[in-house]
Amino acid sequence: MNIISKEKKEIKWIGLPSNSTQEHAHMQQLKRKKQHRIGQKGQYLQDLIMQHIAFKNLLKRNGAAEASGKTPPTGTTIHLPFIIINTNKSANINCQMAGDKAEYYFDFNQPFEIHDDMEVLKRMGLGPDLENGECTPQQLEEAKNLVPRGLEGILDQMCQRLHTTRGATR
């Protein structure tokens, strides 16, 4: 049955019989799942890098404003993280919150959009143009100066991948 083998006094375990095609299919499925998971983690890392660059750009902008004496009036600053909910002016909104202000419940009678702080920073021009594949070499160098040295290679890969993808779709 090829489960064990015996040579003189030595007995070796060979293993239980298996269906190699079934085992191969299982391994291929496992490989696809692992590759998908790696892709998800890679995308998450890219998102974190973009967020890091946007926050660094915000700090630079605010630092330059402070250096020139342009400090915002008290009570006009927004702390991170935040979200913005956007809907039609005529929409009726019912908002309820828990006593500890940890949970909020919104009920809208019309469609609405939710924008997180990263989306707002991008719209303010503080997010890098790496995501849309239109980064110049100068923008890439500026972005590299804002991330730790170990992540510079990932920025190169992102920019290269986006240029390759855009070139293929043209």
- Whole-model pTM over 0.85: no
Quickly tell me which residue has 């496992």 as its tokens.
30
pLDDT above 80 for 166: no
Domain ranges of the chain: 19-69+128-170, 79-124
Q: Using one digit for the tens of pLDDT, what is the confidence trace for 96-125?
A: 999 998 898 989 999 999 999 888 888 888
Better-predicted residue by pLDDT, 164 or 80: 80
Q: What's the distance, CA 85 to chain centroid?
A: 21
pLDDT at 65: 84
Q: Any idea which of 8-22, 40-54, 59-73, 106-120 has the lowest mean pLDDT?
A: 8-22
How far apart, in whole angstroms, are the C-alpha atoms of residue 49 and residue 51? Answer: 5
The CATH superfamily holding the domain 19-69+128-170 is Transcription factor DP (1.20.140.80)
pLDDT at 44: 92
Q: How far is CA 157 from CA 49, 145, 151, in A?
A: 13, 16, 10
How far apart, in whole angstroms, are the C-alpha atoms of residue 139 and residue 50? Answer: 13
Q: Any idea which of 41-50, 62-71, 81-90, 129-138 has the lowest mean pLDDT?
A: 129-138
pLDDT at 134: 65
pLDDT above 80 for 64: yes
Mean pLDDT of the region 139-165: 79
